[in-house]
Chains A and B, each alone.
Chain A
Amino acid sequence: MAEQVYWDDVSEGQEIALTEPMESQRLVIWAAASGDFYQIHYDDNFAKNNNLPDIIVHGALKGMLVGRLLDEWKGEQGKIKQWGVSYRGMDPVREELTIWGKVTKKYENAGETLVDLDVGVAQPNGTQTTPGTATVALPRR
């Protein structure tokens, strides 16, 4: 279990990240978990017949990986208020993706101590495919 992070200790500009290998097996597990059985995510021939170079990572899986990044960072006492991403580019399988966040604002609102973050998913060559934002409530010390 991750150590608890406190709002007092977070600073604007702080970065968090995790890396995930995206093998085809992962996409099949996600298909079962999400009910998204669109063949562009597991059928090479189907993907290529739809003008794709290969099967591609589900957009929603990338969105939920961002959710995991936030969940693991906030600790047991934190709370994700919201997160959202746009799927601006395709991520082919068999690459390691970096899921990242960067604190953009630290503030208090209605009795909560909050941080806003930019979030995203990056390919090994640095290409950003999934930009978004998030808000997380963190405890005070």
Chain B
Amino acid sequence: MAEQLDDLTDDMKAAVGQETGRTTYEVTTQGSRTFARAVGYTDDKYYDEAAARALGYTGLPAAPGFLGMPVFNPQGDGRDEAFKNPFERRLNGGTEVEPIEQVYSGDILEAVSRITSLELAAGRLGQMLIQSSESVYTRQSDDTIVAKTRGTGISY
């Protein structure tokens, strides 16, 4: 069990508001279709580009919330921890999606993430660190912001 903290550490406080990483996401046809299948979509437009174009889309659209997959790097993602987190277990506390522009297969997106808040709380699992963050996704081909996501991570 992690040591009990009376307050956020200095490096935690310094991490709030800081950019924590830039990640490149590829929106592939296979990834887009697998996402649609996993979520249970049956609309042809998410699987068949011709069906999508017949509806006025300019390519194979990604279903809402699909923003591609990060390119796997066997050497690690190259991201440094923004602060030393003494809590080992992690839970996803929540997700918010703000779609702005339609994402298509073939898009390459760059996500810039920031920690927007950190707070300590007591819960059923003991002391927890609640981290809120925001990521802004920009399509590289036209420098358009296509989506923003906000998330809450819980460490305990």
Which residues does A use to contact B, with CB under 8 Å?
Answer: 1, 20, 26, 29-30, 32-35, 50, 58-61, 63-65, 67-68, 70-72, 76, 79-87, 132
A102 to B150, CA, bound (A): 22
A85 to B70, CA, bound (A): 23
Tell me the nearest residue of chain A to B55, going by C-beta. A76
- A sample of 17 more A-B contacts (CB under 8 A), given A83-B96, A85-B96, is A29-B37, A29-B38, A30-B38, A33-B38, A33-B66, A34-B35, A58-B92, A59-B92, A63-B95, A64-B63, A67-B63, A68-B40, A68-B41, A70-B64, A82-B96, A84-B96, A87-B93
In the complex, what residues of B have CB within 8 A of residue A64's CB? 35, 38-39, 63-66
CB-based contact B95/A68 at 8 Å: no
In the complex, what residues of A have CB within 8 A of residue B97's CB? 63, 67, 80, 82-84
CB-based contact A33/B37 at 8 Å: yes
CB-based contact B98/A63 at 8 Å: no
A79 to B97, CA, bound (A): 13
A1 to B48, CA, bound (A): 14
Which residues does B use to contact A, with CB under 8 Å?
Answer: 31, 34-35, 37-41, 43, 55, 63-66, 69-70, 89, 91-99, 150, 152
- Nearest-Cβ distance from residue A23 to partner chain B, whole angstroms: 12
CB-based contact A87/B64 at 8 Å: no
Could you list some 9 contacts between A and B, CB below 8 A?
A33-B34, A34-B38, A59-B95, A64-B66, A67-B65, A67-B97, A68-B41, A82-B98, A86-B93
CB-based contact A72/B94 at 8 Å: no
CB-based contact A68/B38 at 8 Å: no
A64 to B46, CA, bound (A): 15
